[in-house]
Structure 1
Amino acid sequence: MDSTDYLGLSKIKILKNVREAVPEKLKKSINLLAVKYGVLFTWDFANNCVLTLNIKAARSNDGDNVTHQNLFPVLPVMFQPELLLVNDTGTLLLVAGPSGIIVMELPAMHLLYGADSRDVVFCRTHTLDERLLICSDVVQVRQVRFHPGSPRNTHIVALTSDNTLRLYNIENRSAVSVSKVTIGETPIGVFPGTKTSFLAAFGEVGVDFDFGQPEITKSPTNDETQELQWPVFVLRGDGSVYSVTVPLEPKAKWAVKGPLPQNTPEGNPRMEACAIICLNTNPEVVCIANSNGTILHSIVLPLDHETRELLCFESIELELGLSTTTDDNSYTCPIFLHKDESKSGRFCATHSAGVHLVTVGCVKDLQEYVNGQNEEQALDEIFNCESKAEYLVCTKTSNSEKTNPVIGFSLYYEPTSLIAILADGNLVTLGILTAEVLPQIGDLPREGVKDEATSPLKKMLREPVDVVVERLLKRSSNQPILKLGGDGKHSQKDCHELLQRASKFFRESFENHTRAREEIEKRAKVLQVMMEFQLKQIQRMNNEKHQVQAKAESLAEKYEDIKDKHDVIMKRCEKMLVLVSQKKAEPSDAEKEYLKELEQYMEKIEKYKKSIEKLKMKMNYQKIQIANWKAQEEKKVPALSETHSLTIKDNLKKTSEKIAEMVKEINEYKERLNLK
C-alpha cells in the first residue's frame, strides 16, 4: 500500500481520467470533490460532467472492475466550477463557481451504489439566478451551502459579492428564488478592469458564511408557538461577523444583527479574513481563518436575548509552505475550512500550500464544564489547553513561488480518512485517528483514597510508560508529505534546503528516541528490582498463608465443640426454667393477666345468662299471647286483612331470628369457656 494512498484509490480508472484532464492553469485552491454516503463525486474537466464512484466497492478485491458513472447536466455549464456540494439526503448536487450556480437532481442512491449499469446518466438541472450571476460582470458568488433546516433538503443559501444573502428552493422541478437580504452597504463602484469593488478592497464585503447551532425562538406571528431557527454567521473581509436569521417562508423577515462584538485585533492589514466555520460544540466555537495563515478560535456568548459576543480565546498560526532555513511568513493565500463530523473539536484547512489538520484542545473540557461534569476546574485551566495544527500535506516551499494547490478535498468516514486531489492530478488519501486513548483502570481516580505518591519512584511508576514514551517522542514540528509542483524539477538550492530540514528533523527524532530508550531501560531496571522484591514477598505470604490455614482449621474444630456445648447448656436452661415456674407459689404476671381475662369472661357469661332468661320469658309470654290471639280470632267471624297478617309474620320472623342468633352466641361462649 502506498504511504500517500491510504484507501488505494489512485489506480482506479475514474481518478486516472481526472488526473489526465486537470488543466494546467489552475493556480488557486478550489474544492471540486465531495463524498456522501460512501460515494465520491468529482468534476471531469474534459467532458464538463460529474464523475461518481462507490469507494467501498472500489476498495474491494475486484476494484478494477468497478464501473463509474458520468452525470451530465441537461443544461450546459457556462462558468468555471470551483465547488461541489451534496445535500444530506443525497438527492441534489450543487456545482458553483464565481459566475454561476447549477443544481443537479441526482438519481437514487442505490443506483449510485452500482445498481444502475449505465455509464452515462443525464440529470435534471436547475440554474440559480442565471441572468444575474452569469451575465453580470460585477456580482460574483462567494459561498453556497444547503440550509440544514430545510424539510426536504432543497433550500440553498448563497452569498454574493454585492453583500447579499439569497435563499433558493428546488420545488416542483424548478428553482425558485424565495427571498434575499442585504448585509451592510451595497458595493457601487469597481476598480477599472477588475471585478473587485471598492468596498471589497477595504474588507467590507462578505466572503464566507456558515450555519450555527439551531435555536428555539418565539414565532413572530404567534407568541404562544415556538419555531426552530438556524442562525447564519456571515464573515466579512475585515474580520467582522454578522448574525443573520434565514427564515424559509417567502414573506418572512430576515433578522440581521451585527457586527458582533469581538476582542480580536483590528486594523491589521495582514488580517484578511477568508473563511469561517461553526463547530458542532456546546457552547458554539467559531473558527475564523485569515489569508496569512492565522486561525482565530472564538466562543459565541449571549449578551442578552438578542445580541451575542465573540470571545476569542486562542490564535494559531498555520505554516503556509514548508520553511527550510529562514522563517518567511510573507506568503498569503485563501484558506478553506472543513468540519470533521467524526470529532466535534477538529477541522481541516486546505489552501494552495497543502492541508492542515487542526484540533481545538479545550473543546472536551469546555463541554464537560458547561454540562456540569467538571465544575471545579477553572476556566483559565480549560483555555490553557493549547490546540494542535498538524501539517499533513505540503505542496509548496516557503522560498519558492511554485504551488500545487488543492483542487478537491473531502473526508471519508469508513474508516475516517481524508481524500485530496492536487492541481497536478495526484491523489492523496491519509488515515486520521479518531478514537481517543482510554485511561487505564489504575489511573482512574478512586473515591476516599488520597494521593500518597510522594516518592520519585511512585511518581515515575504512576505515569504509564506508553504516555511517557509518547511525550518523549512528540515532535516539536511535524514533517508533512511533500507533493510539490513543477514535475519534480527543483533547483539545487531548494533540494539542499529540504535536505537540511530533513536532516535536522531526523536528528531531533534520533535524540528523542535515545531519551525514550533510556527511559525504558531505567523503568526496566526498576521493574526488575520490584519484581524480585515482590517474588520474595509472595514467598513470605505463601508461608504465612499456610500458617493461617492451619490456625483456621484448629479454630474451626474448637468452634464446632463450643457450639455443641452451647446447645447442651441451652437445653438444660430451658428445663430449669420450666421447673422453677412450676414450683413457684405465686402466679406469674402472665398467669395473673390470664385469670383476669377469665373473670371478665365469667361476668359476661352471667350477663348473657340473665339476658337469655329474659328472652325465654318474653318468648313464653309471646306464645301465650299468640295462643290467646288465635283463640279470639277463631271466635271472630271476619278474618284479618292481608296487610295485618304479613306484618305479624314479619315481626315473628325477626324475633325468632334474633333469638336464634343469641342462642348461637351463647353456645359459642360456652365452647370457648368449656362450660357444659
Structure 2
Amino acid sequence: MFNARTDTLKLNQTAMFAKIRAGLPVERQHTQNLLECKDDMLYAWDSEECCLLAVNWRLAALEGFEAVKYQNLIPSVPQSFQVERVVASSEGSLIALAGARGVTVLELPRRWGKDGLFMEGKEKITCRAFNLDSLLFSNNPHLELRQLRWHPFSPTDSHLLVLLSDNTIRVYDNSTLRHVWKVGPVPMKSDNNLNSSLPTALLLGEFAVDFDIAPAVAPKEDAVLNSSTTINNNTTKDVLNHSRNLSKAFNETVAGNQKNAQNSERIEWPIIVLRENGNIYVLMAGLDSHKPRLQGPLTITPQSNDNYGLESCAILVIPSLPPTLVIAEANGTLHHALFLEAEEADESFNEVDASLIIHPSEYTIHVLETVLLELGLPKDDPKSKTYNCPIHLKRDYINEMRYFAYHNAGLHAITINFISELQRFVESDVDSDISPLSIASNAEYIVCTKIDASERINAVLGFVLLQMPSGVVLLLGSGEVISLKLIIDPKILVETVKIKEETDKSLPKLEAKSELDRMLEPSFVDHIKSMLKRDVTQPILSVDKTSTPNPQECYELLTQAIEVLRTQYLKRHELVRAEITKRVNTIKLRKEQQEHEIADLEKERENIRETAHRLAERFEEISDQQEIITKKCQHLVRQAHTRLPTNPIADKEFAQEVERINKETKALTNSMQKARDTINKQTYHISKYNQTAKKKTFHLPERQEKNIKEILMQIAAEVDSQIRDVKHINQQLGV
C-alpha cells in the first residue's frame, strides 16, 4: 500500500502509473528522468512498450483520473537504445527521448476538443519521430551522450543542443545537423594507461559533463562595455559594482540597437561548459555560428586548493543579474557563484589538442557560498564512508530563487537567498551595503530514498515540477510515485511578516498599557514556531520494498529515528506544552476580565436602547405636529396673499371669469360623459342584438322599423348638436 499523504494527486492509483510500474527499466540503479511536464500535460515513458504516455493532469485533478484517460504516443521509428531522459522543448511542440547511446525527437500531434487532448482524446496515436545521428553512435561504440538541452531562444522551437563524450556539442534543427562545436580536446586512446579502454582525456578529467545556456549578450565590438571601475578580486563589492556598470551599459546599448534589424542576428549566448575536473569554459555562439569562440578555463575566485571539485557532475544557470551559477559535485557539494564579465580578457594555457583554439576569457566566476547536501540519512560513525552519486539540477521557473537537486538518494530543494538582494544592489543607482549577500541558502531534504550504508538504493527515475497549483512529482525505482504540494514563493511569507511589522510600527502606540497586554503583544504562533524549529530536516523516507534490510540495519535506523524524535521533537514539544499552559492561564485571566466588561456593556446597551426608543417616539410626535403646523402656515399664506388690498381689480375679475368657465367646463364634461355612457350603452345593446340576431332572425313590421329609425336619427342629431356645442366652448376657452 502506498501512503496517501505523500501522494496528494493520487497518482499511484491511476492506470497510467500502474502501467509504468509494470514496465520499469531493468537498469534502475542510477538516476534517470522518465517524466516530463509541459503546461497541463504530464508525460511518462513506458520502457516496456516503448511509447510515451500523456495525461492532462490538471483536468484529471479536477474530474478524477478515472474520468480522464491517458493517451499512448507511439514513435514512428524504433529506438535502439535505452531511453533515460524525456525533455520537452520550450514551446512544448517537440519532445526529445534520449539515452546514453542515442536521441529521438518526437513531434507531438495537435490538441483539440473540449478537454484539450491530443487528437480529441484518441487512445493510441502514432507520432512522427526521427533518430539523430544513429550511424554516429553505431560506428563509435565508446561514444555516449552527456547532456542535451533545447535552445530557449529558438525561433522555431526546434534547435536541440547535444553534448557528447567526444567533447563536442552538436546542434540540430529538427532532424538536420547544423553545427558541430568543439568544447574540449579530442579523446585519444593511450596504451600506457592501466586501463587502455579509457581515453586519455577521461583519465585527466578533461571530459565535458554538463552545459547550460546563459542569457544573451551582444558581441563585444557592438556593446559599449568599457567602464572606469576597476575589479578587485579580493572584495565582492568591487566585483558587483563592476557588474552593475557593465549591465547598465549593456542594457542601454541593447535598447538602442533594437532599432537595427541586423544587430539581432549577431546576438550570442554564452554556453557554459563544465568539465569533470571542475574547470569551466564558455562557448560564445549564436544559432548560426559556424565557428564559435571557446574561452577558458575561467578564473574562479576566491581560490581553493581543490579547484572547487574534482568530481563535478552538473551545472545550472539561474538568469539573475548577473547570472548565478550552481556547480554540483558527486559528493553532494553545491557551489553558488556569480557569472561576471572581466575587465580585461585573460589569456589561458594551450589545450592538449593543438587544433582547439582557445580565446581570451572575457568572464570570471566568483563563488559566494558552498552548500553540502546529505546524500541519505547521516551516520553516527565518523569513519563510515560517505556516499557519492551524480547530482541532477533543475530550475524552478516560478521562483527564480529556488532550484531542485535530485539524485540516487532522493530530492533536495535549495533556496538561494542572496539573489533578491543581488538584484536590488545591481539595480540601485547608489552604493549600498551588500552584507545581505552573505545570508546562507536553505537546503531542505524533501525525499530520502537511502537510509543505510548498503548498496541498495531507490533511485529517482523521474522528477517534474507542476504549475498552477505548484507541486512536484517523483517516480522512484521501486515504482512508487510521490506527489507533493509546494509553496510557490517563500518570499511571500517573509513579505507578509515585513508588512505586518511595518503596519504595527505605523500605528500610534498607547502610552499606558497593562501588564497583561504587554505579555500578549508578541505573536504566539511565531513564538511556538520558533520553539518547534528543528536543527535538522527530516525528509520523507521511501525505500525499495522488494529487498528487506537485515536486523542490524533496521536497528540502526530505529535508533537514529528515536534519537531524532527525542532531541528534535519530544523535548521541544515538552517546552511547547509548558508554554501553551502558561498561555492558557493568561488567556483565562483575560477572559474573566472581558466577561465582566461584557456584562457592564450589556447593561449600558439596554439603557441606550430604552433611551433611543423614547427619543424615537418623541421624534415621531414632533414630526407629525410640525407637518400640521406647516400645512396651516401654507393655507394662511395663500389666504393672506389673495386678500391683499393692493390686488388689482382686473385680477379679481379674471379670477371670477376663470371660476365661471371652470364650472361650465365641469358641467359640459359631465354632459359629455353622460353622452358617452349612452353611446356605450347603445353600442352594447347593438352588439347583444347582433349576437342574438345570428341565432334567430326577427322581422319587425315596417311601421315599427320606421319609428325606431326616426328615434335613432333624433338621438344622433342631439348628440351631434351637443358635440358641436362642446367644441365651440372649447374654442372660446382656448382648450
TM-score by length of 1: 0.72
Which of 576, 579, 600 is 1:516 aligned to?
576
Q: SS where residue 363 of structure 1 aligns? A: helix
Q: Point out 4+ residue stretches in structure 1 off by more than 6 angstroms.
A: 190-195, 218-224, 447-450, 455-462, 526-540
Query: Aligned with 2:576: secondary structure?
Result: helix
Once the two structures are superposed, residues 510-569 of structure 1 have per-residue CA deviations (whole angstroms, 9 ceiling, x without a partner) of 2222333344455566677789999999999xx9xxxxxxxxxxxxxxxxxxxxxxxxxx
Q: 1:117-155, CA deviations, whole angstroms, 9 ceiling, x for partnerless residues?
A: 322111111222222134311221100010011112111
8 Å CA contact 1:33, 1:84 repeated in 2: yes
8 A contact 2:110–2:118 mirrored in 1 = no
Equivalent residue, structure 1, for 2:326 = 287
Residue matched to 2:558: 499
8 Å contact from structure 2 (residues 72, 125) kept in 1 = yes
> Does 2:208 align with 1:152?
no
Matches for 1:570-581 after TM superposition, within 5 Å: none
Q: Which residues of 2 match residues 414-429 of structure 1 at below 5 A?
A: 414-429=468-483
Counterparts in 2 of 1:118 and 1:135: CA distance versus 1, 3 Å: farther
Partner of 1:610: none
Mapped contact 1:178–1:250 kept (Cα < 8 A): no
Among candidates 375, 389, 404, match of residue 458 of structure 2: 404
* Equivalent pair of 1:281/1:363 in contact (CA under 8 Å): yes
For residues 396 and 459 of structure 1, do their structure 2 counterparts lie closer, same or farther at Cα, with a shift above 3 Å needed? farther
> Following the alignment from structure 1 to structure 2, what is the Cα–Cα distance between the partners of residues 57 and 102?
29
**Equivalent residue for 1:32, pick from 24, 34, 46:** 34
- In the comparison of the two structures, how many residue pairs are matched? 536
Q: Quote how far apart the aligned CAs of 1:97 are.
A: 1.0
**Residue by residue, what CA displacement relative to the aligned partner does 1:86-144 show, whole Å, maximum 9, x if unpaired?**
11211101011111111111112447625523221111112222221343112211000
Aligned to 1:444: 502
Residue 136 (structure 1) aligned with residue 140 (structure 2): yes
Code of the residue aligned with 1:229 in structure 2: it is: E
Matched, 1:179 2:184: no
Partner of 2:283: 244
Give the Cα–Cα distance (whole angstroms) in 2 for the partners of residues 356 and 495 of structure 1. Answer: 24
Residue matched to 1:657 = none
- State whether residues 218 and 226 of structure 1, in contact with CA within 8 Å, keep that contact through their aligned partners in structure 2: no
2:13 is paired with a residue whose SS is: coil
- Name the CA shift for 1:29/1:57 in 2 (closer, same or farther; >3 Å): same
Query: Where does residue 98 of structure 2 map in the other structure?
Result: 96
In the TM superposition, 1:268-417 aligns within 5 A as: 271-304=310-343, 307-327=362-382, 328=384, 330-372=386-428, 376=432, 378-380=433-435, 382-417=436-471
Contact 2:409–2:450 at 8 Å: present in 1 too?
Answer: yes
Identity percentage of aligned residues = 30
Q: Confirm whether residue 433 of structure 1 aligns to residue 491 of structure 2.
A: no
Alpha-carbon distance, 1:2 to partner? 0.4
For 1:442-481, what aligned pairs fall within 5 Å after superposition? 442-444=500-502, 463-481=522-540
State the AA in 2 paired with 1:379.
I
- Distance in structure 2 (CA, Å) of the matches to 1:194 and 1:457: 80
Q: Alpha carbons of 1:448 and 1:469: their partners in 2 closer, same or farther (altered >3 Å)?
A: closer
Decide whether aligned partners of structure 1 residues 189 and 20 sit closer, same or farther in structure 2, where only a CA change above 3 A counts.
Answer: same
Higher mean Cα deviation, 81-90 or 305-314?
305-314
- Partners of 1:34 and 1:409 within 8 A in 2: yes
CA distance in 1, matches of 2:178, 2:29: 35
Residue by residue, what CA displacement relative to the aligned partner does 1:443-479 show, whole Å, maximum 9, x if unpaired? 01758999x99x9999986653332222221121122
Contact kept? 1:54, 1:114, Cα under 8 Å: no
Write the mapping of 1:479-558 to structure 2, written as runs, cut at 5 A: 479-507=538-566, 508-522=568-582
State the SS of the aligned residue for 2:287: coil
- Give me the whole-angstrom Cα distance separating, in 2, the residues matched to 1:107 and 1:246: 32
| Distance change >3 Å, CA 77–CA 344, structure 1 → 2 | same
After superposition, the Cα gap between the structure-2 partners of 1:257 and 1:477, relative to the gap in structure 1 and judged at 3 Å, is same
Give the whole-Å Cα distance in 2 for the aligned partners of 1:50 and 1:305: 50
Conservation of the 8 A alpha-carbon contact between 2:412 and 2:446: yes
> Deviation of residue 184 (structure 1)?
2.7
2:170 equivalent among 132, 141, 166: 166
Deviation at 1:498, TM superposition (A): 1.2
Cα distance change, pair 332–488 in 1 and its aligned pair in 2 (3 A)? same
Query: Structure 1: where are the runs of 5+ without partners?
Result: 544-676
- Code of the residue aligned with 1:240 in structure 2: it is N
TM-score of the aligned structures, taking structure 2 as reference length: 0.66
One-letter amino acid of the structure 2 residue matched with residue 46 of structure 1: E
Q: Which amino acid aligns with 1:182?
A: K
Unaligned runs of 5+ in 2: 224-253, 346-361, 605-735
Compared with structure 1, are the counterparts of its residues 373 and 482 closer, same or farther at alpha carbon in structure 2 (3 Å cutoff)? Answer: farther
Query: Within 2, Cα distance between the matches of 1:510 and 1:536?
Result: 39
Asked whether the 8 Å contact 2:209–2:313 carries over to 1, the reply is yes
Q: 1:140 to 1:324 in 2, by over 3 A?
A: same
Report what 2:630 is aligned to: none
* Residue 264 (structure 1) shift: 5.4
Query: How big is the shift at 1:411?
Result: 0.6
Q: In the alignment, which residue of structure 2 is the partner of 1:9?
A: 11
Q: What is the root-mean-square deviation of aligned Cα atoms in Å?
A: 3.5
